[in-house]
């Protein structure tokens, strides 16, 4: 009996590992392909019979750094994403705190309205948002890009769910200890919901960093392009000898790098929920 | 001057549910007041109103001659110990205890001094560096008490602080809280549903039910002179027996009939009952299990005959459960009982030890007005 049980366990483990391996291969393949292609010549890329480059073309990377404004675009993206995220975190935290911990008339309605706007397709907001930005003279500016994205409904929802898991008793204990709302938020609630903040930050940073549609609608100054726009403008549209795929691939590899580094540092806390002891019993 | 006064305090939710109904209480300095009652009786709500965590719907809360209704919790100079400890999980024990001082920008040296003082009293000096998740239930509760103590509050508020501990630890912590009270010499307000805690700790006990105060008295007074059937049955274990009886006056004698058992009443008691117009009326007869005398049938005697339905041997005492038709009684006898289950016995009631309650209002008919102190 014991033997059968042990084989069963091993079997389940093997199936689980196999499934994870397959999913892993599917996920990583485009990355590998991108990196491999970045080292090929243009002719090699089109030839499906070879996977690895005969001679790795490191010059592709070199030419990205020296001949293209890609680094400038990476800087633009990092700058816009960081500021956008900072504002999203600030506003999201404040509204989520109010909705969860403060009592006021219309609290539920307020949250319903916030969530209601989530149902609206983003594309439907393009034209009104464009007009508003145009009226404010913010087209073609980083300010316009940042303030048009400074509230994240997804983030508010994520933080609200996390805040709701913080026991009310802790908030009350802090109030009796003499903590203001501001202190309660940053000294009690935020440390307990750290992982949700990191999940929020990482996901929204990536979305913002990679965003293409909206930035290309409101900015046409090449100097203000974000990475996705820049990649397209410089290598795909503009190439007079047709698309330079090796350079596109090398560029993409460089673009992805900051995100991978960020993920490596934060994955420990990513989607972790409130784990362990909450300080309350019962 | 009274330390705390609640005047006609109400708590209503959405103007529909009344959680606390016309609560009036005067708490003197250095009293240990216990709010006791079944769950949902409004005891915690009242405590939370005193703490400032819950708004007072109407009525007034006074502390040291100042009205407190609109004062923020941290400005009331109260400290609260929560049922679920409510320790900050990301802070160490030291930080938990020192947090209120940190908010007041007290110097590190002073903080260290105060925390170590408190830690010494509570015997938690060795765990100051640990996080709450590394502590046992009893330790967590000590830290929670420590957090309250460092503030030197005017009043300690405790909301069922022991209900999450196991029975043994609860007894120990109860004794410690009592000790703490004697040492700190400050006012305590303590909420519990446990009558043992209420009786052993409180110098003044407030019994509540459905948001209404039933009686405010000392433990002794509650036990000897309960205001109504609810208090009579809530305090004491096993609970007070309630029998149906009727009061008569014949041949210049007052007596009470319980089934076919006649209990002659002293003249003074009978006259009081007559004054209150209870002659010929049915009443509830309350008697505590330990106040019942059990007679053996072999010795004859004219008591109320009952059958022994079950018995519990507890060592120092034996609980007997008696039955006659639909009348049930619990009786406590000293030592062991060698009576057989199913056998008949007779019980005798002493008029000094019975309590008579009105059938309709359930109020104690003969209760004298006592000073609640």
The model's confidence at residue A281, banded by pLDDT at 50, 70 and 90, is very low
Residues of chain B contacting A277 with CB distance shorter than 8 Å? 89, 131-133
For A41, A178, B61, B75, B156, the CA distances from B79, given in Å and listed in that order, are: 74, 10, 17, 11, 5
CATH of domain B241-358: 2.40.50.140
pLDDT at B255: 92
Non-local (6+) Cβ contacts of B347 within 8 A are: B292, B293, B294, B295, B303, B304, B306, B322, B329, B331
What average pLDDT score do residues B78-89 get?
92
Task: Tell me the per-residue pLDDT of A265-280, one tens digit each, with 9 for 90 and over.
Answer: 887 776 554 444 444 5
User: Any CB–CB contact under 8 A between A278 and chain B?
Assistant: yes
Query: Token pair 């602080």 is at which residue?
Result: B161
Query: Which residue, among B87, B163, B166, would best test binding to A if mutated, counting the most A CBs under 10 Å from its CB?
Result: B87
Contact assessment for residue B35 and residue B47, using Cβ atoms and an 8 Å cutoff: yes
Sheet harboring B292-296: ordered strands across?
Answer: B292-296, B344-349, B304-313, B317-324, B327-334
Region of poorest pLDDT, from A96-110, A205-219, B290-304? B290-304
User: Any CB–CB contact under 8 A between A3 and chain B?
Assistant: no
pLDDT tops 90 at residue A222: no
Contact assessment for residue A245 and residue A42, using Cβ atoms and an 8 Å cutoff: yes
Of A247, A266, A227, A255, residue with least CA distance to A41: A247
What average pLDDT score do residues B6-23 get?
91
Superfamily designation of domain A61-266: MetI-like (1.10.3720.10)
Residues of chain B contacting A169 with CB distance shorter than 8 Å? 82-84, 86
CB contact under 8 A, A281 and B82: no
Helices in chain A by DSSP H: which ranges? 2-38, 42-46, 59-67, 70-101, 107-119, 122-135, 142-147, 153-164, 168-177, 181-183, 190-192, 194-210, 213-218, 227-231, 245-266
pLDDT tops 70 at residue A242: no
pLDDT tops 80 at residue B36: yes
What average pLDDT score do residues B308-324 get?
89
DSSP B230-253: HHHHHSSSSPPEEEEEEEEEETTE
Non-local (6+) Cβ contacts of B31 within 8 A are: B3, B187, B188, B203, B204
Contact assessment for residue A88 and residue A155, using Cβ atoms and an 8 Å cutoff: yes
Q: How far apart are CA B162 and CA B167, in angstroms?
A: 9
How far away is chain A from the Cα of B87, in angstroms, using its nearest Cα? 5
Contact assessment for residue A91 and residue A151, using Cβ atoms and an 8 Å cutoff: yes
User: Any CB–CB contact under 8 A between B100 and chain A?
Assistant: yes
CB atoms within 10 A of CB B77: 15
**Does residue B363 have a cis peptide bond before it, meaning omega lies within 30 degrees of 0?**
no
pLDDT tops 70 at residue A14: yes
Q: How many CB pairs (< 8 A) connect A and B? A: 80
Of B213, B212, B210, B221, residue with least CA distance to B367: B221
Q: What is the mean pLDDT of chain B?
A: 90
Q: How far apart are CA A216 and CA A131, in angstroms?
A: 15
Cβ density class A208-235: b for 16+ within 10 Å, e for less: bbebeebbeebbeeeebbbbbbbbebbb
SS3 state at B320: strand
pLDDT at B38: 93
pLDDT at A276: 44
User: Any CB–CB contact under 8 A between B71 and chain A?
Assistant: no
Q: What is the DSSP letter of A187?
A: I
Of B85, B86, B103, the CB nearest to A183: B103
Q: Which residues of A, range 162-221, sit inside 8 Å of B by Cβ?
A: 167, 169-170, 172-179, 183, 188, 191-192
Q: How far apart are CA A89 and CA B142, in angstroms?
A: 37
Cα torsion B322, B259, B263, B304: sign? negative
Looking at the DSSP assignment, which residues form a beta bridge with residue B12?
B18
Name the token pair of A264: 């490596």
Of B191, B213, B205, residue with least CA distance to B23: B213
Residues of chain B contacting A183 with CB distance shorter than 8 Å? 103
CB contact under 8 A, A276 and B133: yes
pLDDT tops 70 at residue B33: yes
CB contact under 8 A, A173 and B80: yes
pLDDT tops 80 at residue B333: yes
CB contact under 8 A, A167 and B84: yes
| Surface-to-core class of residue B355, CB atoms within 10 Å of its CB (0-12 exposed, 13-18 middle, 19+ buried) | buried
How far away is chain A from the Cα of B163, in angstroms, using its nearest Cα? 10
User: Any CB–CB contact under 8 A between A72 and chain B?
Assistant: no
For B318, B325, B371, the CA distances from A176, given in Å and listed in that order, are: 47, 56, 34
pLDDT at B2: 65
Where are the domain boundaries for CATH 2.40.50.140 in chain B? 241-358
How far away is chain B from the Cα of A203, in angstroms, using its nearest Cα? 25
The secondary element (H helix, E strand) that includes residue B274 is: helix B267-275
pLDDT at B247: 93
Q: How far apart are CA B24 and CA B316, in angstroms?
A: 41
Q: What are phi and psi of A183, to 5 degrees?
A: -65, -40
CB contact under 8 A, B131 and A277: yes
Of B100, B131, B132, the CB nearest to A177: B100
Non-local (6+) Cβ contacts of A167 within 8 A are: A278, A279, A280, B84, B86
Contact assessment for residue B273 and residue B310, using Cβ atoms and an 8 Å cutoff: no
Task: Tell me the per-residue pLDDT of B347-368, one tens digit each, with 9 for 90 and over.
Answer: 888 888 899 999 999 999 987 6
How far away is chain A from the Cα of B187, in angstroms, using its nearest Cα? 17
pLDDT at B299: 61
Q: Which residue of A has its CA nearest to B85?
A: A280
Residues of chain B contacting A276 with CB distance shorter than 8 Å? 89, 133
User: Any CB–CB contact under 8 A between B53 and chain A?
Assistant: yes
ipTM for the complex shown:
0.79
Of A174, A176, A278, the CB nearest to B78: A176
B4-234 topology per CATH: Rossmann fold (3.40.50)
Non-local (6+) Cβ contacts of A214 within 8 A are: A122, A126, A145, A148, A149
Q: What is the mean pLDDT of chain A?
A: 88
Q: How far apart are CA A115 and CA A150, in angstroms?
A: 16
What average pLDDT score do residues B57-70 get?
93
The pLDDT > 70 percentage for chain B reads: 97
User: Any CB–CB contact under 8 A between A281 and chain B?
Assistant: yes
What average pLDDT score do residues B142-159 get?
92
Residues of chain A contacting B137 with CB distance shorter than 8 Å? 281
pLDDT at A148: 92
Q: Which residues of B, range 257-276, sit inside 8 Å of A by Cβ?
A: none
Q: What are phi and psi of B188, to 5 degrees?
A: -120, 140
pLDDT at B300: 57
User: Any CB–CB contact under 8 A between B77 and chain A?
Assistant: no
DSSP B161-211: TTTTS-HHHHHHHHHHHHHHHHHH--EEEEEES-HHHHHHH-SEEEEEETT
Task: Tell me the per-residue pLDDT of A180-200, one tens digit each, with 9 for 90 and over.
Answer: 999 999 999 999 998 899 889
Residues of chain B contacting A178 with CB distance shorter than 8 Å? 74, 100, 103-104
Of B90, B100, B133, the CB nearest to A178: B100
């Amino acid at each position: 009996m014991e033997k059968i049980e042990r084989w069963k366990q091993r079997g389940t483990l093997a199936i689980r590992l196999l499934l994870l391996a397959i999913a892993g291969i599917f996920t990583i393949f485009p990355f590998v392909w991108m990196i491999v292609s970045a080292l090929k010549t243009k002719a090699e890329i089109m030839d499906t019979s070879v996977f690895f480059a005969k001679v790795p073309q490191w010059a592709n990377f070199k030419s990205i750094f020296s001949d293209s404004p890609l680094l400038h675009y990476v800087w633009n993206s990092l700058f816009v994403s960081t500021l956008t995220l900072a504002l999203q975190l600030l506003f999201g935290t404040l509204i989520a705190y109010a909705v969860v911990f403060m009592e006021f008339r219309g609290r539920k309605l307020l949250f319903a309205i916030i969530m209601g706007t989530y149902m609206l397709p983003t594309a439907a907001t393009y034209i009104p948002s464009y007009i508003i930005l145009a009226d404010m003279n913010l087209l073609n500016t980083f300010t316009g890009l940042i303030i048009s994205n400074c509230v994240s409904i997804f983030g508010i929802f994520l933080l609200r769910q996390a805040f709701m898991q913080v026991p009310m008793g802790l908030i009350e204990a802090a109030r009796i200890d003499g903590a203001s709302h501001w202190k309660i938020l940053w000294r009690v609630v935020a440390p307990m919901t750290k992982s949700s903040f990191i999940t929020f930050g990482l996901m929204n940073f990536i979305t913002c960093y990679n965003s293409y549609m909206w930035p290309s609608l409101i900015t046409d100054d090449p100097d203000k392009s974000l990475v996705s726009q820049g990649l397209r403008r410089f290598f795909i549209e503009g190439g007079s000898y047709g698309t330079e795929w090796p350079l596109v691939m090398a560029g993409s590899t460089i673009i992805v790098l900051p995100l991978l580094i960020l993920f490596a540092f934060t994955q420990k806390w990513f989607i972790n929920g409130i784990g362990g002891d909450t300080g309350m019993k019962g | 001057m009274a330390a705390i006064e609640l005047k006609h305090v109400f708590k209503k939710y959405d103007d529909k549910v009344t959680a606390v109904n016309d609560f009036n209480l005067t708490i003197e300095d250095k009293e240990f007041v216990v709010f006791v009652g079944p769950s949902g009786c409004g005891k915690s709500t009242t405590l939370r109103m005193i703490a400032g965590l819950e708004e007072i719907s109407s009525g007034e809360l006074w502390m040291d001659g100042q009205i407190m209704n609109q004062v923020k919790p941290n400005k009331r100079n109260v400290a609260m110990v929560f049922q679920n400890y409510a320790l900050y999980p990301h802070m160490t024990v030291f930080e938990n205890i020192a947090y209120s001082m940190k908010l007041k920008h007290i110097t590190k040296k002073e903080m260290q001094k105060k925390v170590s003082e408190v830690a010494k009293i509570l015997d938690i000096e060795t765990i100051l560096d640990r996080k709450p998740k590394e502590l046992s239930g009893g330790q967590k509760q000590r830290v929670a008490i420590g957090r309250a103590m460092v503030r030197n509050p005017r009043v300690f508020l405790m909301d069922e602080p022991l209900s999450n501990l196991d029975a043994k630890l609860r007894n120990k912590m109860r004794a410690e809280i009592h000790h703490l009270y004697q040492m700190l010499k400050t006012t305590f307000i303590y909420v519990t549903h446990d009558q043992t805690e209420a009786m052993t700790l409180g110098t003044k006990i407030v019994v509540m039910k459905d948001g209404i105060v039933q009686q405010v008295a000392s433990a002794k007074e509650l036990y000897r002179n309960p205001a109504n059937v609810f208090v009579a049955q809530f305090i004491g274990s096993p609970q007070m027996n309630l029998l149906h009886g009727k009061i008569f006056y014949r041949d210049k004698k007052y007596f009470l009939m319980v089934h076919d058992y006649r209990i002659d009443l002293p003249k003074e008691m009978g006259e009081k009952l007559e004054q209150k117009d209870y002659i010929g009326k049915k009443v509830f007869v309350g008697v505590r299990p330990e106040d019942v005398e059990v007679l053996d049938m072999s010795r004859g005697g004219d008591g109320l005959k009952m059958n022994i339905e079950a018995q519990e041997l507890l060592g120092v005492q034996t609980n007997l459960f008696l039955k006659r038709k639909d009348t049930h009684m619990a009786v406590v006898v000293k030592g062991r009982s060698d009576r057989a289950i199913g056998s008949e016995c007779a019980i005798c009631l002493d008029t000094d030890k019975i309590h008579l309650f009105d059938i309709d209002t359930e109020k104690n008919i003969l209760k004298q007005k006592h000073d609640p102190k």
